[in-house]
């Protein structure tokens, strides 16, 4: 089950198939400790993220999920293997990729609107146009009336919505999210998950979601990839077929088969209770 | 989806009359708190002055050695009347402000720009520590030889007292920026200069202002030390002259003016901080 890129077609006829936005082939990454000892973090990892696809990655604690994400974004260079965005290897940061972490990373000196505008501002979009787009995005995420609030006056859920708006307003083809909702209470989490999935599916964007939360992984994704302990490899892949309307993460949790997926993934994780 | 958003949080404009009344109650409680502190401070000060006045009133020698609040205020009003108080305060204030401004500009500029290159900052580090450990007063004779006995030498002393502190605090601010925040800006496609301008500089403001508050006092010390070495006016000059003539109450009178100057400058820095960092005001 380790080869997930198997659906890629090479040779004649491959040109007709759309190029997936992200293909990872045999990526390996290790860290060097102060003593000169190297610790392999990612052993050998291959995966494909198709257009409009939502893929969740789960794995035991400390299995290098965040290293994987930073490698994909070009913040770290892999020791081996290839990462192709829309069929091309890029040096540095890939274009049109949105990145979001558990920490909202809002700049405290900027209002919700100012934070949302950050990406457009950096790319030199005219201020008036950027502001219109950002206000519309904040409205869409239920933050109408909060655009001029500083982050320190917003709740955790609202701050994470602002972070989501900051990511989505750049209209990324691919979103890389690293436990973005882990710090939120259950209700805020469900609501923001729902909005995220809705906007991602509507925009035909692709989403790679790293999470600890198995129910979140199953309810959001088309596919769940289970990673092994370090050095990380793919342990199992589940295609989630739940039939229900996949834009409603709350009703998906009630779908028959949902808890079976969660249970098998939990078994795969092989968590030893002390 | 907008209908499902948490209903607990409403924009502050929509607050009802009960909320507003509660807000006023809170404000009154807070005001009463600060008033209590202020009254206590005044009582402590008054008690101290009364004890000073009483103790020195009993004993001629003590009155000569320690002055007394009444003698100090007599000198203060006399100095105010003949204009020397205003003149000296103005001169020292100007030296302090110029030294404060120049020293902080140079120090902050260097401190922030050291963020740009890990290599340069590592090269510079021991030199900064060495320069920072020089007692500024030891430089005074050279400063007077280089810059003369006028305004410039005092501004130079004041600048030197400020510049290293400003450099260190701003560098600390710049390097203390959350690396995840830098990564975020990188993934948004920011250049190194954009990261510097949009993230590092504003993020360092808190540390820079902590440095500014600290260096108000240092700038004043530099100016006064400069005046001690050689001068014809200024509060340091007044203190030095009165001291050599054993007019202790006059020394204290000039000291009171120095303290007032320091308080005014510190207050002004605090006000500018509030103006430049409005997001911190909303925290309270």
| Model pLDDT for residues A155-195, shown as the tens digit of each residue | 888 998 999 999 989 888 899 998 888 888 888 888 888 88
Count of A–B CB contacts within 8 Å?
Answer: 87
Is A66 a member of any domain? no
Domain that holds residue A142: 101-171
Calculate mean pLDDT across residues A192-203. Answer: 87
Q: Which of A67, A105, A251 to mutate to test the interface with B (most CBs of B within 10 A)?
A: A105
In a domain, A83, yes or no: no
Please state, in angstroms and rounded to a whole number, the distance separating the CA atoms of residues B284 and A274.
44
User: B202 and A107 in contact by Cβ < 8 A?
Assistant: yes
pLDDT, tens only, A90-147? 877 787 888 888 888 999 999 999 999 999 999 889 999 999 999 999 998 888 889 8
Residue B166 in contact with residue B102, Cβ under 8 Å? Answer: no
The verdict on residue A185 lying in a domain is no
Residue with tokens 């600290």: B214
Match 């206590």 to its residue by tokens: B40
Chain-chain contact of A105 with B189 (C-beta, under 8 angstroms): no
Structure tokens at A213: 């939360």
Q: Which two tokens stand for residue B168?
A: 């260190």
> What is the crossing angle of helices B84-113 and B248-276, to 10°?
40
> Are A105 and B194 in contact (CB < 8 Å)?
no
CB contact under 8 A, A107 and B181: yes
Question: Burial level of A274, CB count in 10 A (0-12/13-18/19+)?
Answer: exposed
- Residues of chain B in contact with residue A98, where contact means CB-CB under 8 angstroms, are 187
Given the DSSP bridges, would you call strands A38-49 and A232-239 parallel, antiparallel or unpaired?
parallel
Domain membership of residue A163 (yes or no) is yes
Alpha-carbon gap, residue B154 to B144, rounded angstroms: 9
CATH class in words for B67-281:
mainly alpha
Q: How far apart are CA A36 and CA B95, in angstroms?
A: 54
Q: Is the pLDDT of residue B14 over 60?
A: no
ipTM of the complex: 0.79
What are the structural domain ranges in chain B?
A: 15-66, 67-281
The average confidence (pLDDT) of chain A is: 83
- Number of Cβ within a 10 Å radius of residue B249: 21
Q: Which of B9, B181, B278 sits opposite A155 (nearest CB)?
A: B9
Percent of chain A with pLDDT over 90: 17
CB A188 within 8 A of CB B6: yes
Q: Is A108 within the bounds of a domain?
A: yes
DSSP A83: E
Alpha-carbon gap, residue B30 to A107, rounded angstroms: 29
DSSP B44-100: HHHHHHHHHHHHHHT-HHHHHHH--HHHHHHHHHHHHHHSHHHHHHHHHHHHHHHHH
CA distance B135 to A129: 55
Write out the residues of chain B at the interface with chain A, using a CB-CB cutoff of 8 A. 1-2, 4-6, 8-9, 11, 178, 180-181, 183-190, 194, 198-199, 202-203, 205, 277-279, 282-283
Q: How many domains does chain A have?
A: 1
Q: Report the relative pairing of strands A232-239 and A97-100 from DSSP bridges.
A: unpaired
Q: Does A171 touch chain B (CB under 8 A)?
A: no
pLDDT at res. A63:
75
**d(Cα B190, Cα B117) in Å, to the nearest integer?**
17
Contact B38, A176 (CB under 8 A): no
Q: Rounded distance, CA B86 to CA B238, Å?
A: 12
- Spatial contact of B99 and B223, defined as CB atoms under 8 Å apart: yes
B1/A122 Cβ within 8 A: no
What average pLDDT does this structure show over B203-231?
91
| CA–CA separation, B153 and B224 (whole Å) | 11
In this complex, the residue of A70, A144, A153 whose CB is nearest that of residue B282 is: A153
CB contact under 8 A, B178 and A105: yes
Q: How confident is the model at residue B81 (pLDDT cuts 50, 70, 90)?
A: very high
Burial of residue B58, with CB atoms counted within 10 A of its CB: 0-12 exposed, 13-18 middle, 19 or more buried: exposed
Q: Is residue A112 part of a domain?
A: yes
Q: Identify the residue whose tokens are 């979001």.
A: A100
Residues from chain A that touch B278, judged by Cβ atoms under 8 A, are 150
Strand partners, A83: A24
């Amino acid at each position: 089950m380790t080869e997930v890129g198997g659906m890629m077609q090479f040779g004649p006829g491959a040109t007709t198939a759309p190029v997936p936005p992200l293909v990872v082939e045999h990526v390996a990454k290790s860290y060097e400790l102060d003593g000169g000892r190297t610790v392999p973090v990612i052993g050998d990892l291959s995966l494909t993220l198709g257009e409009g696809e939502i893929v969740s990655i789960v794995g035991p604690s400390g299995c290098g999920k965040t290293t994987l994400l930073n490698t994909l974004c070009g913040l770290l260079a892999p020791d081996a293997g290839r990462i192709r965005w829309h069929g091309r290897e890029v040096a540095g940061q890939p274009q049109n990729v949105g990145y979001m972490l558990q920490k909202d990373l809002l700049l405290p000196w900027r209002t919700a609107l100012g934070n949302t505008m950050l990406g457009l501002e950096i790319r030199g979009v005219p201020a008036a146009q950027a502001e219109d787009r950002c206000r519309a995005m904040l409205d869409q995420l239920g933050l109408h009336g909060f655009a001029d609030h500083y982050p320190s006056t917003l709740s955790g859920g609202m701050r994470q919505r602002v972070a989501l708006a900051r990511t989505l307003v750049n209209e990324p083809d691919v979103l890389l999210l690293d436990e973005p909702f882990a710090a939120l209470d259950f209700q805020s989490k469900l609501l923001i998950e729902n909005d995220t999935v809705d906007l991602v599916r509507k925009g035909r964007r692709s989403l790679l979601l790293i999470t600890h939360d198995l129910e979140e992984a199953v309810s959001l994704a088309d596919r769940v990839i289970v990673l092994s302990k370090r050095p990380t490899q793919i342990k199992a892949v589940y295609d989630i077929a739940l039939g229900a309307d996949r834009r409603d993460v709350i009703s998906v949790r009630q779908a028959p088969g949902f808890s079976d997926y969660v249970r098998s993934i939990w078994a795969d994780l092989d968590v030893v209770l002390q | 989806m907008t209908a499902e958003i948490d209903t607990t949080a409403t924009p502050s404009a929509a607050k009802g009359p009960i909320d507003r009344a509660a807000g006023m109650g809170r404000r009154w409680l807070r005001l009463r708190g600060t008033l209590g502190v202020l009254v206590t401070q005044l009582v402590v000060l008054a008690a101290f002055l009364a004890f000073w006045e009483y103790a020195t009133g009993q004993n001629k020698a003590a009155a000569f050695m320690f002055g007394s609040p009444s003698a100090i205020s007599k000198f203060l009003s006399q100095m105010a009347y003949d204009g020397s108080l205003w003149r000296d305060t103005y001169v020292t204030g100007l030296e302090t402000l110029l030294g404060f401004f120049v020293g902080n500009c140079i120090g902050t500029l260097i401190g922030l720009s050291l963020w740009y290159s890990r290599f340069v900052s590592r090269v510079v580090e021991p030199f900064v520590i060495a320069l920072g450990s020089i007692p500024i007063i030891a430089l005074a004779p050279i400063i007077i030889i280089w810059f003369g006995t006028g305004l410039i030498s005092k501004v130079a002393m004041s600048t030197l007292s400020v510049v290293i502190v400003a450099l260190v605090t701003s560098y600390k601010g710049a390097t203390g920026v959350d690396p995840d925040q830098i990564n975020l800006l990188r993934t948004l496609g920011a250049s190194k200069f954009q990261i510097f301008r949009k993230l590092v500089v504003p993020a360092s403001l808190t540390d820079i202002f902590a440095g500014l508050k600290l260096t108000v006092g240092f700038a004043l010390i530099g100016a006064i030390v400069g005046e001690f070495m050689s001068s014809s006016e200024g509060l340091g000059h007044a203190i030095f002259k009165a001291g050599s003539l054993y007019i202790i109450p006059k020394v204290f009178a000039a000291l009171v003016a120095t303290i007032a100057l320091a308080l005014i400058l510190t207050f002004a820095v605090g006000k500018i901080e509030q103006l430049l960092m409005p997001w911190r005001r909303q925290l309270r």
